[in-house]
């Protein structure tokens, strides 16, 4: 089973990176072909749009909503829209015929659709985080990151979730990133991080040494230490306010229970691809 997932993982990662590369190559060739030779007057000519051009064209409705709700520029939104469409195509390719019928008008994703029919699934989402943003985490943490992005519980990352999630990861303020990490670590989404949740998170992300007789006991001791540090009001659990105060004092504790934010290098690299 592990080898099967690993195989899917590798193929998914390659497809994700290839999608971005193809997108950039397409942009560059389009710019070159549109340039007019020096000394020759431009001839007005209407270029017929291909089906792919139409499918990857971002509507004004999407642009306006994304410019209002995210921290991206118009050109960045258009680039992210094209990448999203390519990633949705990956999902379609690996889905069985007829199992997933997609809408011809993706703008219906923006807002509150009654029935979301397309998006990025967990496997492709995991590969994006791993291969593009250097986020390597256990399945449980990856699933929590997916769920926090997928606020409406559609089981897919819609276009709206894609743009909002990337806006927070790439341009979000420290306050927003603290809220995001807290939401990821709050496994049952009840507004608190409990000792049991700390134990599950730390048990999954810490390396166990085979020679240890009872590694769980060491993790329980660590949970006690972390709880004493973070539980500011001493009620036996960590609230968002407790977490905010702790991270303000000790910024390195932002990702105390597992990595869920991209590295600076990966953020800069990805943002540079949007400007290519």
For residue range 20-30, what is the model confidence (pLDDT) as tens digits?
Answer: 555 545 554 55
pLDDT digits (tens, 9 = 90+) for 163-216: 999 999 999 999 999 999 999 999 999 999 999 999 999 988 776 555 556 788
- Which pLDDT score is estimated for 1? 46
- Which pLDDT score is estimated for 97? 43
For 253, half-sphere exposure in the C-beta direction (CA atoms, 13 angstrom radius) is 14
- Which pLDDT score is estimated for 201? 94
- Which pLDDT score is estimated for 111? 46
> With bands split at pLDDT 50, 70 and 90, how would you rate the model's confidence at 5?
very low
Burial of 211 (0-12, 13-18, 19+ CB in 10 A): exposed
DSSP per position, 72-120: --HHHHHHHHHHHHHHHHHHHHHSPTTTS---S-GGGGSS--SS----B
pLDDT digits (tens, 9 = 90+) for 120-170: 999 999 999 999 999 988 899 999 999 999 999 999 999 999 999 999 999
Ordered by where they begin, the domains of the chain are 52-173+262-275 (1.10.238), 180-255 (1.10.238.10)
35 or 52, higher pLDDT: 52
Report pTM. 0.77
- Which pLDDT score is estimated for 205? 79
251 or 114, higher pLDDT: 251
């Amino acid at each position: 089973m592990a080898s099967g997932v690993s195989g899917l993982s590798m193929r998914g990662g390659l497809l994700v990176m290839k999608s971005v590369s193809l997108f950039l190559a397409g942009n560059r060739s389009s710019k070159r072909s549109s340039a007019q030779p020096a000394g020759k007057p431009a001839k007005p000519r209407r270029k017929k749009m291909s089906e792919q051009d139409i499918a990857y064209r971002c509507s004004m409705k999407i642009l306006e909503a994304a410019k209002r709700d995210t921290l991206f520029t118009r050109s960045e939104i258009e680039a992210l829209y094209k990448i999203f469409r390519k990633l949705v195509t990956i999902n379609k390719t690996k889905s069985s015929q007829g199992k997933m019928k997609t809408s011809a008008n993706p703008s219906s994703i923006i807002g509150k659709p009654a029935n979301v029919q397309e998006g990025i699934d967990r496997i492709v989402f995991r590969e994006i985080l791993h291969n593009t943003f250097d986020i390597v985490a256990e399945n449980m943490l990856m699933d929590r990151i997916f769920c926090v992005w997928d606020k409406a519980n559609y089981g897919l990352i819609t276009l709206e979730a894609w743009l909002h999630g990337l806006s927070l990861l790439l341009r979000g303020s420290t306050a927003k990133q603290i809220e995001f990490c807290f939401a990821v670590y709050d496994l049952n989404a009840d507004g608190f991080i409990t000792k049991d949740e700390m134990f599950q998170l730390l048990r999954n992300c810490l390396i166990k040494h085979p020679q240890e007789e009872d590694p769980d006991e060491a993790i329980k001791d660590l949970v006690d230490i972390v709880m004493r540090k973070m539980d500011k009001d001493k009620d036996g659990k960590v609230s968002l306010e407790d977490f905010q105060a702790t991270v303000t004092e000790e910024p390195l504790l932002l990702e105390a229970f597992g990595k869920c934010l991209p590295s600076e290098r990966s953020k800069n690299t990805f943002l540079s691809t949007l400007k290519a």
